[in-house]
Structure formats: C-alpha cells, structure tokens
Amino acid sequence: MADSSDSEQFSDGESDDDFEVLSGSSESEDEMNEVPMNANPWFRVRPPEIDYLHDQRFVENSGPQNVPAADAKPIDYFLLFLTLDFLRHIVRERQTGKNLHLPVKYAQDFITSRQRVRRFSRLHSWFKVGAVTLAEMKGFISVILNMGLIRKPSITEHWNTKFPSQDTIWFRDIFSRNRFQSILNFFHIVDSNALPNQNDDNYSPPSKFQCFVDLFNRQSKLHYKPKQNLNIDESLIASKGRSCIIQYIPSKAAKFGVKLWVLAEAVSGYIYQLSVYKGRQFNPTPQGMLQGAYVVNKLLDVAGLFHKSYHLFTDSFFSSINLAKVLLTKGTFFTGTLRANRQMPNSIKHPVLQEKECVYIRQGNILLCTYKERNGRKPVFFKSSTGK
C-alpha cells in the first residue's frame, strides 16, 4: 500500500531529472494526481506487500554437474578440483621442446645462484635423490593437508621419534623429513624466470599462484551450478609473507593475509568464483564507482551469472541503492544492509521508531526498510530489489 505523504526528494548519484521534488504532508488523492507522469518518488508502503516472486524466472539447472559415479571414492571428488593434469604441470612442464621439472629447475637456479654451498648441506643430496615424481607430489600434498589436521609445534615435530606418545608413524612412511623439507623449499607451480619483474607494466603480484586460482574457478563452475540465492563477501588467508598484496584487517581473526573476494551459493556456502585483491595500485576502482559495487559487477560478470534471475545478498560494504538499480538492468536481484553514511531518503536515514518498529518505502522495484530492534540501539537499514 503506497502513501504519498512520505514521498520525498532523493538522489544517489544519478541526475536530478530522475527524481521529482514533492513537498507537503497531505495524504489527499488530489495531491497524488498532481504528480507529473515522469516523477519517480519514494512512497511509504506498509506490509504485507504484493508478492512478485512468481514473476522471477529462475530456470537454471542447479546442483552438481559432471560428477563421478555414486560409488566413487573420496579421492575422486578431491581430484575434481586439484586435477591430475595440474599436478603433472607442477612436476613437469614442457618448455622449448624439453621436459623441465619445475622444482628441479628452481632448485638448480637457487643452488647456482649461491656463491658457496656448505659441505654438509642438504642441497648436495637434492639431485642425488632425483626429480620429484607425480607420486611424490601426491604424497607431498597429503602431508600438507594432514599437518593441518594433526597440529604440532613445528614441521620437524611430525618426524619426532624421541617420545613414543608424540610419534606419528604415518609421516615417516610417506617421506623422510629431509626429502619433505627439500620439496617444500623448492616447491613452485610456475617458472619464476618467465614472470615479469616488479618494474614491468605487466607485473601482477599473485602471478606465482594465479594459475591455481584460475584452476579452482574453472573447476568450480564445471562441477556445480548454484541455486538462486548468492552471496559475495571478503575472506582473508592468513599470511605474513613479504608481498605488496598482504592486507591488514583488524576485524579478522588472522588480521594479516591475502584478501579474496568470494562469490558463493548462500545456502551451502559453495564457492563459485573468487578473485585475489591485489591492492589499490594493481586493482584500482574505476572513477565514480564504489569498490564494493565494482567487485560485485566484476565477479558476477566473470562467473556468467547476469540475466539469469539470480538473487544476491551482501553486507553493507558492497551495498548501495545505485548498485541494486544497476543489477536489476542486468536481470539480477539484490538484498543487503546499508551503511548509515550511504545516500538514502530521510524517512529511512533518520527515522523516529519505537522498539520492534520498522518503516518501508519503495521506488519502483527498489524497497528500503529500517528496523529498530530495541530502545538504545541504532536502527538497521535494509535494501532489496524485486522484479515485476
């Protein structure tokens, strides 16, 4: 139900021609009829509203795609994402007509770059043992994953045999301590010599692991089609490495790390697309756009989810009224909280509310709501877009 008494002037960065200035507080039908045909005001609405969900044509075939048989082993599902082809790429990469082992190549470059190698250094035994095989690479990854499950003070403690109560035989069965540490030291998934240096215009900070991110995005889309409700948020992978892409976010548990923009299915949390944030220097936001809106448009575009009636949910960092309007033109619905410093009508931004009270206003397909949970707490602002 619309109420003309709450219609008001508003602009969220668009031209003033898109909005009509309405004054007065009368609720008469005569004043409503005086509104020009091209006006686009905000009107007070009261629940329940008309349900437009039946007009949202979401027809995607959601769910798992291209998956193994029902009786497949867990390792078969694991290899859907970390494929054998990628493991072979790590172990052996074809360049200039020759098979070059990436760990061996990096080790050779590292050893030759040192002026002096100590007599009893492990570096001497690297070439004696031989190149890293595909079986060793599988074992190496399995050890890394199990170290995350079986926590110990240091890497070497997984091979400790001094105290029987702390002995973990499995790790010794897979690798000797020295061999594992040697592979860990020389582990590379790209040829560093082929990458642009930091002074090059084509330099990209995550280039040493970007191929792994690309693999994940490709396999994620190949094996699953998300349901209608989506979510975009940021995630932090803990790291204190020396890199220009390391971010400091005090609100996160890790605080220091590599920040990812993540597009996921809202119900299951299945990650459908992710992007590494490279910092302001390498990931500048286009002029006139909010960073959150730019990230949303970029992720949905790369994932190929526009014009399919998906419904996106985000927090206040990404949310804006203008973003909801833009997404509607691309066949995508949007719901999110709004920050108090974002532009919005005064009846929403400065409401007079009692405990458990809310206010709704609508402009076309855009619905705004403010809600006060209890006295003494600030109101919460919500925004949603629906299709008619």
Task: From 169, 189, 209, give the residue that closes a domain.
Answer: 189
More confident residue, 100 or 310: 310
* Same domain (yes/no): 47, 137: no
Say what the pLDDT of residue 114 is: 65
Rounded distance, CA 191 to CA 101, Å?
10
Q: Is 232 exposed, middle or buried (0-12, 13-18, 19+ CB in 10 A)?
A: buried
Structure tokens at 24: 């007065």
pLDDT tens profile 316-351: 999 999 999 999 999 999 999 998 888 888 888 888
Residue 299: Cβ within 10 Å count = 21
Mean pLDDT for the chain? 81
Same domain, 52 and 122: no
Q: Look at residue 179 and tell me if it is in a domain.
A: yes
How many domains are contained in the chain? 2
Q: The whole model's pTM is what?
A: 0.80
Residues 155 and 47 in one domain: no
Q: Which residue has the higher pLDDT, 300 or 115?
A: 300
Q: Is residue 365's pLDDT more than 50?
A: yes
In angstroms, the CA 174 to CA 179 distance is 10
Distance separating alpha carbons of residues 265 and 272, to the nearest angstrom:
7
Q: What percent of the chain has pLDDT over 70?
A: 77
Q: What's the pLDDT at 265?
A: 97
* Same domain assignment for residues 158 and 48: no
For residue 145, the model assigns a pLDDT of: 95
pLDDT score of 197: 86
Q: Are residues 51 and 101 in the same domain?
A: no
Rounded mean pLDDT of 261-290? 93
Write down the pLDDT at residue 383: 75
State the residue range of the domain holding 370: 41-58+309-387
Q: Dump pLDDT digits (tens) for 172-215.
A: 999 999 889 888 887 888 877 788 888 888 889 999 899 999 99
Q: Domain for residue 7, yes or no? A: no
| Residue that finishes a domain, picked among 189, 217, 250 | 189
- Any domain includes 255: no
Indicate the helix (H) or strand (E) that contains 64.
Answer: strand 63-64
Structural contact between residues 107 and 126, judged by C-beta atoms closer than 8 angstroms: yes
Check if the beta carbon of residue 335 is closer than 8 Å to that of residue 316.
no
14 — pLDDT class (breaks 50, 70, 90) = very low
Look at 29 and 142; give whichever has higher pLDDT.
Answer: 142
pLDDT digits (tens, 9 = 90+) for 71-116: 999 999 999 999 999 998 888 643 333 444 555 666 666 666 666 6
pLDDT score at 58: 87
Could you tell me if 129 and 52 lie in one domain? Answer: no
82 with 161, same domain: the answer is yes
Q: Which residue has the higher pLDDT, 138 or 17?
A: 138
What per-residue string of b and e applies to 116-137 under the rule 16 or more CB within 10 Å gives b?
eeeeeeebeebeeeebbeeebb
Amino acid 99: pLDDT: 47
Asked if residue 183 is part of any domain, the answer here is yes
Same domain, 50 and 71: no
Strand 63-64 and strand 224-225: the pairing is antiparallel
Rounded to 5 degrees, φ, ψ at 100 are: -115, 125
Q: Per this entry, what is the length of the chain?
A: 388
Q: 118 lies in a domain?
A: yes
Confidence of residue 119 (pLDDT cuts 50, 70, 90): low
Residues 72 and 177 in one domain: yes
User: How high is the pLDDT of residue 32?
Assistant: 33
Same domain for 52 and 77: no
- The last residue of one of the domains, among 170, 189, 208, is 189
Domain membership of residue 13 (yes or no) is no
Residue owning tokens 């920040």: 259
Count of C-beta atoms within a 10 Å radius of residue 81: 14
**Does residue 332 lie in a domain region?**
yes
Same domain for 47 and 112? no
Residue with tokens 């286009």: 286
Verify that 50 and 88 share a domain, yes or no: no
Q: What are the tens digits of pLDDT across the range 121-161?
A: 766 666 667 778 889 999 999 999 999 999 999 999 999 99
Q: Is the pLDDT of residue 227 over 80?
A: yes
Q: What is the 3 state secondary structure string of 232-265? A: EEEEEEECCCCCCCEEECCCCCCCEEEEEEEEEE
Which residue matches tokens 């050893």? 111
